[in-house]
Amino acid sequence: MSEPTTVYPVGRTDVGKRLDRFLQEKIPRLSRNRIQEMIRDRVVLSWDARVRPATVLVPGGVVRIEYVPLPETLLEQEIPVLMRGDGWLAVDKPAGIPVHPVNTVRENTVIRMLRRQEGCEDLRLAHRLDRETSGVLLVADNPDTARTLSLAFENREAGKEYVAVVRGVLGEDRGTIDLPVGKACNSEVFVRQAAGAGAPSETVWQVEARGPGATLLRLFPRTGRRHQIRVHLEAIGFPVLGDLLYGRPDQDYLDLVSGLRDPRKEEGGPDRQLLHCARLRIESVAGGLDCSSPVPDLFHQCLQRVSPSNWL
What type of residue sits at position 137? L
**Residue pair 91/114 in contact by the 8 Å Cβ criterion:** yes
Per-residue pLDDT, averaged over 8-33, amounts to 91
pLDDT at residue 1, rounded to an integer: 42
Pick the catalytic residue from 130, 141, 250, 297: 130
What type of residue sits at position 126? A
Judge whether residue 104 has pLDDT over 80: no
pLDDT band for 2, please (50, 70, 90 cuts).
very low
Per-residue pLDDT, averaged over 20-30, amounts to 91
Per-residue pLDDT, averaged over 152-162, amounts to 94
Verify whether residue 130 is a known catalytic residue: yes
- Residues 56-82 have pLDDT tens digits of 999 888 999 987 666 788 998 999 999
Per the prediction, the chain carries an average pLDDT of: 91
pTM value is 0.79
pLDDT band for 196, please (50, 70, 90 cuts).
very high
pLDDT at residue 22, rounded to an integer: 95
What type of residue sits at position 228? Q
pLDDT at residue 217, rounded to an integer: 98
- Residues 107-116 have pLDDT tens digits of 899 999 999 9
Judge whether residue 50 has pLDDT over 50: yes
- Residue 8, φ and ψ in degrees, nearest 5: -125, 105
